Amino acid sequence: MKFTESCNWIDGQQQGLLSNLMQLSEINSGTNNLSGVNKVAEFFRSYFVETADKVEEVKSKPREHTNIEGDKIQEEFGNILKFRKREDAPLQILLVGHMDTVFPENHSFQSPAILDENTLHGPGVADMKGGILVMLTALQAFEASNHSKQLGWQVILNADEETGSHGSVDSLVTAARVADAGLIYEPALADGTLSRARKGSGNFTIVASGKAAHAGREFSVGKNAIMALYAAAKKLEELTDLESGVTVNIARISGGTAFNVVPANAVLQLNIRCLTLEQQQSLEAEMKKILREISSQNEVALELSGAFSRPPKTISPANQLLMDWVVDCGSQLNIDVQFKDTGGCCDGNNLAAAGLPNVDTLGVLGGQIHTADEFMIIPSLVERAKLSLSILHKIASEGERIKALNEQGMVKQC
């Protein structure tokens, strides 16, 4: 098929895409619902297998971390799906999506509903089951068109993106190092705006161990773990610098027993976001300094765990070229593509840190993600599939330019 015929074919998929998306939305695939994630994986496996040369299922690595009770636990994640086509082609592209959502099995938000001819409401419809369908449709159209055999592709669908991709990051980075460009199918904003640079993000847990005492008889003997964490939280929050793009969010605190007992144990969890690797390093050092001082002043041990799992996504010359191509491809389809920086994070952060230029919001248009008001714009299913098809053709014909920039190691930030 020629490009115009391919676009017409995509237009004809609208009802099927909407029907499939509603079926997928009915399947709860919260990150920790492994059976639900597996059902979604079975669905996508059956569809991608007809287009790919090679299909592989990889076990995610488990993650050990400290929970809000202060216990070290091991978390398991759903398997990673990989699909390959022409892996020996001189140009390689990596397409990434995630099958998990933020909604657990006991959440009240479990079913989709069509609100009007333009709007579908439902869990995961935008973030990002709709996006994976966009990706698949574009690849199907690309393979049926008169495309260049110079371009090979790999699809990775992971099952733990919503909690940081801890179990899949190694697979993503390995794939990024052999690819020339990346396309990720997180949702665009409802007005079609795409994400440009992204902040880095880290989640941290502080476990406080003090000394219990009777709150009446021996109050002065006790070492209050909650108050030590309170003092630490105040100091840590002061690291927020909005002008420099640094935010420290004190997210949760837990501890204590009875009213008449000085609490010996408490746990605090926080999130830190920033714009640069230099800021990350400075913040980690400052955080450790604060905890040492608070620990000494309160005679309470403070144990820090966690890390910056999402490096900042900065824009290299190769990444800027890829974004320019997306704008051009949009123009050819009468789609006005705009980019803007964001404080959110996704797998695009990790791919960029591995040296892969990528655009990470090529999925459907939507909004209110991570809430029970999540929605997607129905016509964007075919619109964004056509945009991705155009991008695939562009990379197939001119991808050597990005490949050359990558090989020259031009990673200076724009």
**Residue 239 counted as domain residue:** yes
Task: Tell me, yes or no, whether 387 lies in a domain.
Answer: yes
| pLDDT value at 196 more than 80 | yes
Question: Of the residues 310, 344, 379, which one is the last residue of a structural domain?
Answer: 310
Q: If pLDDT is split at 50, 70 and 90, which confidence band does 411 have?
A: very low
Report d(CA 228, CA 214) in Å as an integer. Answer: 18
Rounded to whole angstroms, the Cα distance separating 32 from 100 reads 8
H or E stretch covering 403: helix 380-407
Is 99:39 a contact under the CB 8 Å cutoff?
no
Into how many domains does the chain fold? 2
* Helix, strand, coil shares, percent, the chain, to 5: 40, 30, 35
Alpha-helical segments (H) within 238-378:
277-298, 317-332, 347-353
Average pLDDT across the chain, whole number: 95
265, pLDDT greater than 50: yes
Please determine, for residue 209, whether its predicted confidence score (pLDDT) is greater than 70. yes
The neighbour count for residue 54, using CB atoms within 10 Å, is 12
What number is the average pLDDT over the span 67-85?
Answer: 95
Instruction: Give the model's confidence band at 7: pLDDT under 50 very low, under 70 low, under 90 confident, else very high.
Output: very high
Residue 182 three-state SS: strand
Choose the final residue of a domain: 257, 282, 310. 310
Percentage of residues in the chain with pLDDT exceeding 70? 99
Going by C-alpha positions, the residue among 359, 202, 358 that lies closest to residue 279 is 202
For residue 336, report the phi and psi dihedrals to the nearest 5 degrees: -85, 105
Tell me the pTM: 0.93
Distance CA 408, CA 403 (A): 9
Element at 190 (helix H, strand E): none
CA separation for the pair 166, 187 (Å, rounded): 21
Considering the domain architecture, whether residues 188 and 85 belong to the same structural domain is answered as yes
Q: Assess whether 241 and 381 both reside in one domain.
A: no
In a domain, 298, yes or no: yes
Considering the domain architecture, whether residues 111 and 234 belong to the same structural domain is answered as no
Distances (CA, A) of 277 to 138, 282, 313, 314, 408: 35, 9, 10, 10, 22
323 and 284: one domain? no
Tell me the angle at which helices 3-11 and 130-144 cross, rounded to the nearest 10 degrees: 140
Q: What whole-number distance in Å separates Cα of residue 368 and Cα of residue 372?
A: 8
| Whole-number pLDDT of residue 413 | 38
Of 310, 325, 355, the last residue of a domain is 310
In a domain, 414, yes or no: no
For residue 147, name the pLDDT band (cuts at 50, 70, 90). confident
pLDDT the model gives residue 409 = 67
DSSP state of 127: I
CA dist., res. 11 & res. 379, Å (int) = 9
| pLDDT 10s digits, 156-167 | 999 999 999 999
408: pLDDT confidence band, cut at 50, 70 and 90?
Answer: confident
Distance of CA 300 to the CA centre of its chain: 36
Over range 349-378, report the average pLDDT. Answer: 97
- Distance from C-alpha of 46 to C-alpha of 413, rounded to nearest angstrom: 40
Residue 412, in any domain of the structure: no
| pLDDT value for 165 | 96
Q: Verify that 214 and 289 share a domain, yes or no.
A: yes
CA distance 184 to 326: 13
If asked whether residues 69 and 153 sit together in one domain, one would say yes
pLDDT score for 162: 96
Is 107's pLDDT higher than 60? Answer: yes
Q: Are residues 134 and 92 in the same domain?
A: yes
- Average pLDDT rounded to a whole number, residues 176-183: 96
The pLDDT score that the predictor gives to residue 113 is 98
Could you say which DSSP state residue 361 is in?
B
**Are both 258 and 175 inside the same structural domain?**
no
Residue found by looking up tokens 């040296």 in the block: 355
* Residue 21 domain boundaries: 3-197+312-407
